[in-house]
Chain A
Amino acid sequence: MAANYTNPIVRWIDSRLPVFTMMRHEYYDYQMPRNCNYLWSFGAFAAITLMIMIVTGIFLAMNYTDNTLLAFTSVERIMRDVNYGWLLRYIHMNGASMFFIVVYIHVFRGLYYGSYKSPREILWMLGVVILILMMATAFMGYVLPWGQMSFWGATVITNLFSAFPIIGDPIVTLLWGGFSIDNPTLNRFFALHYLLPFLILGVVVLHVAALHIVGSNNPYGIDMKGPQDGLPFHPYFTIKDGFALVLFFLVYACFVFFAPNYLGHADNYIPANPLVTPSHIVPEWYFLPFYAMLRAVPSKLGGVLTMFSSLLVLFVLPWLDTSKIRSAKFRPIYKQFFWFLVAACLVLGYAGSQPAEGIWLVVARVGAVYYFFHFLILLPLLGKLERPLPLPTSISEPVLKGSGPVPAGAHAKPMEKA
Chain B
Amino acid sequence: MRIVKSVILAAVLGLGLAAPVCAEEAEISLPHVEWPHDGIFGTFDRAAAQRGFQVYKEICSACHSLNLLYYRDLTALGFSDDEVKAIAAQYQVQDGPNDQGEMYDRPALPSDHFKRPFPNDKAARAANNGALPPDLSLIVKAREGGEDYVHAMLTGFEDPPVGVKLMDGMNYNKYFPGHQMGMPPILQPDLVTYADGTKATQDQMATDVATFLTWAAEPNLEERKRMGVKVVLFLLVFAGLMYAVKRQVWADAH
Residues of A within 8 A of B (CB): 34, 73, 76, 79-80, 86-87, 90, 231, 235-236, 239-240, 242-243, 246-247, 249-250, 253-254, 256-258, 260-261, 266-267, 269-270, 279, 335-336, 339-340, 342-343, 346-347, 350, 354, 359, 399
Contacts and interface: CB of A to CB of B under 8 A. Distances in A.
Interface stretch (B6-14, B158-166, B206-214): B6-14
A250 B146 CA distance: 26
A336 B1 contact: yes
Contacts of A239: 242, 245-246, 249-250
28 contacts: A76-B68, A76-B138, A80-B219, A86-B220, A86-B224, A240-B246, A243-B246, A246-B235, A246-B238, A247-B239, A249-B235, A250-B232, A250-B236, A253-B231, A253-B235, A254-B228, A257-B229, A258-B228, A266-B141, A266-B142, A266-B144, A269-B217, A270-B138, A340-B7, A342-B8, A343-B7, A347-B15, A350-B15
A115 to B, nearest CB: 21
A236 B253 contact: yes
Nearest to A34: B253
A100 B18 CA distance: 26
Contacts of B229: 257
Nearest to A399: B254
Residue in A246, A250, A335, A347 with the greatest tally of chain B CB atoms within 10 Å: A246
B214 to A, nearest CB: 12
A249 B11 CA distance: 30
Contacts, number: 100
B4 A242 contact: no
A371 to B, nearest CB: 14
Nearest to B142: A269
Residue in A87, A258, A267, A347 with the greatest tally of chain B CB atoms within 10 Å: A258
Given A90-B224, A246-B235, 4 more contacts: A34-B253, A87-B224, A257-B224, A267-B142
B231 A257 contact: yes
Contact of A279 (B8, B177, B231): B177
B112 to A, nearest CB: 14
A76 B143 CA distance: 17
A96 B94 CA distance: 42
Interface string B216-254: 010110001101110110011011001101100110011
Contacts of A266: 141-144, 146
B235 A269 contact: no
Question: Would you list the 6 A-B pairs with minimal beta carbon distance, nearest first?
Answer: A257-B228, A269-B142, A243-B242, A269-B141, A246-B239, A339-B4
Contacts of B1: 335-336
Contacts of B220: 79-80, 86
A230 to B, nearest CB: 11
A87 B223 CA distance: 10
Contacts of A261: 141
B22 interface: yes
A340 B134 CA distance: 46
A336 B4 contact: yes
B4 A236 contact: no
Interface in B69-110: none
Contacts of B227: 87, 257
B253 A246 contact: no
A266 B144 CA distance: 6
A322 B138 CA distance: 55
Contacts of B8: 339, 342-343
A340 to B, nearest CB: 7
A80 B232 contact: no
Contacts of A86: 220, 224
Given A250-B236, A266-B141, A347-B11, A258 B40 contact: yes
A48 B201 CA distance: 53
Interface residues of B, number: 45
A397 to B, nearest CB: 14
A290 B236 CA distance: 36
A249 B228 CA distance: 12
A346 B12 contact: yes
Contacts of B142: 266-267, 269-270
B3 interface: yes
A80 B242 CA distance: 36
A346 B232 CA distance: 29
A34 B15 CA distance: 40
B216 to A, nearest CB: 10
Contacts of B138: 76, 269-270
Nearest to B219: A80
Nearest to B16: A350
Nearest to A354: B22
Interface string B147-190: 00000000000000000000000000000010000000000000
B224 A80 contact: no
Contact of A236 (B15, B18, B228, B250): B250
A322 to B, nearest CB: 22
B230 to A, nearest CB: 9
A254 B250 contact: no
B68 A80 contact: yes
B239 A250 contact: yes
B91 to A, nearest CB: 20
B232 A253 contact: yes
Contacts of B236: 250
A206 B236 CA distance: 34
A235 B141 contact: no
Contacts of B18: 359
Nearest to A261: B141
Contacts of B224: 86-87, 90, 257, 260
A257 B219 contact: no
A257 B230 CA distance: 10
Contacts of B137: 76
A354 B144 CA distance: 15
Contact of B253 (A80, A231, A258, A359): A231
Contacts of A90: 224
Contacts of A87: 224, 227
Residue in A73, A243, A335, A354 with the greatest tally of chain B CB atoms within 10 Å: A243
Contacts of B246: 239-240, 242-243
